[in-house]
Amino acid sequence: MTKDYLKDASLQTKVINIGVDTDAAHGSVMPPIYLSTNFSFEGLGKKRTYDYARSGNPTREIIAEVIAELEGGAGAVMTASGLAALDLLWQDLDRANPIAPAATPDPTAPKSKRVVVPHDCYGGTQRLLNARHKQGLIECVYVDQSDEAALSAALAEPTALLLLETPSNPLMRLIDLEKLIKLGQDAGARVAVDNTFLSPALQNPITFGADYVVHSTTKYINGHSDVIGGALVCAHAADVLPMRWWANCVGATAPAFDSYMTLRGVRTLFVRIKQAQESAQAVAEYLHNHPAVKVVHYPGLPSHPQHDLAKRQQKGPGAMMSFELAGGLEAVKTVFEDIDLFSLAESLGGVESLIVHPGSMTHAAMSPEAQATAGIAPGLVRLSIGLEDAADLIKALDKALGRLA
């Protein structure tokens, strides 16, 4: 569907223009939404492009094309949530004997159902992996992905899939994508990267060799905190149909209305990210200089241990950050008691700014010991910077932090 003149256009142009002015019926500039669950046959044995909306839907097709373009992939599968997208990754781990009819068997693929995963990946991903492990679908091995020796040791046994997440949540630790993707692939594994935290506007793992990219489109891609959704982008054309087959088989495909909303949201991805990131830099600098703050974890600060890697691997530092209050949990309670503008809520990547206490909210499932090992201190606070005026965000933080004096 991509028009010829878009082939050489920038991603920012593509994200605006794909699907625009393509409606043959009425010339509607914005692509219409097709809510119908079913599509008629032209006649007996004469199927049109679509027949049933779980397997295919024109509205979903456009957002899939946009996201595949943004990530530089061969195709994308739009799912009902980020977790549904992740769950497609391990349906056909035995690539020598795939179940999906469209898959090409690869006799050289490792005979393994081993999935190597970062020990600090998103908690919902861990819950899903643990459940699939208990079912026997996969053998899940957690590893500190910043420890290359531990990762190499984990990959020494035949491994089907390596899942990476960068920056990490909530400490904003980065991993070297090029290096680790190569490490995984040299060991015979396919490599998937969860790119939710930065969005395709700021990081493109396929350019570093990733086989798959996963998104919770719930976050920056939709960007308005009003749709739960996900995307699985396949770098290789041969993987697209098998993954679509699985999404249809398990009923994980994204609804038409959600696809329409997400398409509407993604059109402004680049301008949203640009603005949020600019404000995030100002907020991070303010926090860095505040006496009540022990440390700020933000890749845009020269004090971040991987500031140079961020500059090399990312198109920008993003709009997520965390900081540790010197006064620990008591200080967090004081700040959260009266903070303007920031909503005390999980999730991220929306137009509105959010504040979270990882220890008791996003990472509450981890024991206090596990939190301590992972570096999640009781005084740690995470921010998702939205599109409010940076001066107002700093004013709100200054007022709340002022209560600590």
Interacting residues with ligand PLP (CB under 6 A)? 81-83, 122, 124-125, 165, 194, 196-197, 216, 218, 228, 230
Alpha-carbon gap, residue 229 to 183, rounded angstroms = 30
Least Cβ distance, residue 347 to ligand PLP (angstroms): 6
With respect to ligand PLP, which residue has the nearer C-beta, 79 or 112? 79
Three-state SS for 104? coil
- Residue of 92, 194, 239, 258 marked catalytic: 194
Distance (Å, whole) CA 192 – CA 300: 25
**Catalytic (active site) residue 194:** yes
The answer to whether 190 is a known catalytic residue is: no
Of 118 and 300, the one with the shorter C-beta distance to ligand PLP is 118
398 is an active site residue? no
Residue nearest to ligand PLP (CB): 82
CA separation for the pair 43, 28 (Å, rounded)? 28
CB 125 within 8 A of CB 114: no
CB nearer to ligand PLP: give 330 or 346.
Answer: 346
Please give the Cα distance from 113 to 128 (Å, whole number). Answer: 15
Query: Which CB atom, from 103 or from 231, has the smaller least distance to ligand PLP?
Result: 231
CB closer to ligand PLP, 196 vs 314:
196
Residue 55 beta carbon to ligand PLP: minimum distance, rounded to whole angstroms:
21
Selecting among 14, 34, 50, 54, the annotated active-site residue is 54
DSSP per position, 50-83:
-SBTTT--HHHHHHHHHHHHHHT-SEEEEESSHH
- In angstroms, what is the minimal distance from the CB of 228 to ligand PLP? 5
Helices (H), 116-196: 123-135, 148-155, 177-186
d(CA 36, CA 41): 14
For residue 122, indicate whether it is catalytic. Answer: yes
For residue 252, give every residue at least 6 positions away whose Cβ sits within 8 Å of its Cβ, in sequence order, or none.
79, 80, 84, 85, 87, 88, 246
Rounded to a whole number of angstroms, the minimum distance from the CB of residue 35 to ligand PLP is 22
Q: Which of 60, 113, 114, 122 is catalytic?
A: 122
The CB-of-225 to ligand PLP minimum distance in angstroms stands at: 11
Give the active site residue among 95, 173, 190, 219.
Answer: 219
Catalytic (active-site) positions: 54, 122, 194, 219
